[in-house]
Amino acid sequence: MKLKIPYHSLSTNRSKLAESNPICGDPMQWFDTEYFRNESLYSTTFDFFINWSNNTFQPIAWVKRVIYSGFTIEPNEIMDSIIKCDGKDKFETVKNFCYKNGINLSYILIPEIPTDAWIDNNNKVILFDVKKFEENNGANPVSPMSVKELIGLIHSYKVDYKSVRMDSEGLKLSTTSLEYFLSMWNNKIGYKGDAIYPGDADIILFDEDYCPKAIIEIKKHSIGSVKRYASTIEEENISLYVKGDKLKYQSLDILQRHWNCDFYMLFYPTTSETSIKIQKVSELKALTSKVLPLPNVHSPVALQNFQSQFVDFMNAKMIIANTTSKNQKVYHTNPHCKYIPYDKTKIIPFESEQQAIENNYHLCTACSKE
């Protein structure tokens, strides 16, 4: 069996790939580098589930791969195929991150077939449970599933699935025909889009102890899109996208809260623009942003320059200030302090405590006790 990493394409025409930028390449490449490893920062990615009955993270992760040749349910052959596709190091990275954080990791292997073919229950995906395979205690790690069985499994993970539903048209862009199929209604099998494929964390940065440090959501900025939200990179903001893709961003917000880590938006162009924008986010509102030169994957110097500036942005100690309902001017040293207003239009960022003090702000009582 031969596997490949899926790519975004037009859901109705999988031969039409999503827009890309030949200069900066895939942003995920920017973070899986020696520079970040020297900073004790490592990266991985996976799809994850939210229990929508109580808005909590389910400790279940899927890594999807596309089957483009052959089909087997023999565990050792499947593992060999995964290693050949991902490489030993990347497989070990996502496996160890999940183990250390109490997450059950499975690879979901999806045949490359037309969207309508998923109606046929003879077409199966393979769910490969990595822990069961490595423990080798007699439990079968391989679960072939029809789309109906997969829908039932997704329902069991999300619990209150009836409140989580796509519209009838489904996704414009998707990485597999299965993902597209699950995103839209299908009257032939009585399916109403209520078992959408789990959302993904584009990039997860973590330290040498596998402690999550940041979630990074990658967003393309492209001219000529059906929906244009921002004319320039400088105008990009998470607020422009939350309403239109509510489930995605609510999921990422819940994951950030679960890990108590940073959350960044990274906007990059598929046009001739020469900048990117990084934005630090809390409770789905922008805290602070920075525009940087477009990384060039063909220039080690330019790429390292971006990496250095991104790490500096991460490490910058941002002081958040606000005026309370009693007109008290306070600042917070803890970016997750419960007394920071939910309405982020009411906060003022400072680069240092001294700057906040000079502007007559006083340290929040709760932050002073930490």
Q: What is the pLDDT of residues 337-359, one digit of tens each?
A: 888 886 666 788 787 888 889 89
82: which 2 tokens?
A: 């995964």
pLDDT exceeds cutoff 50 at 224? no
Which candidate, 50, 84, 51, 48, places its Cα nearest to that of 65? 84
Place 226 in a pLDDT band, splitting at 50, 70 and 90.
Answer: very low
pLDDT band of 204, cuts 50, 70, 90: very high
pLDDT at residue number 223: 58
Question: In what helix (H) or strand (E) does residue 363 lie, and over which residues does it extend?
Answer: strand 362-363
Least confident of 5-9, 55-59, 180-184: 180-184
Angle at the Cα of 149 from the Cα atoms of 144 and 153, rounded to 5 degrees:
100
Res. 196: pLDDT tops 60:
yes
Alpha-carbon torsion (313, 28, 57, 277), positive or negative:
positive
Task: Give the pLDDT of residue 141.
Answer: 96
The pTM assigned to this predicted structure is 0.86
Across 281-293, average pLDDT: 90
Look at residue 191 in the predicted model and tell me its pLDDT.
72
Spacing of C-alpha 154 from chain mean position: 18
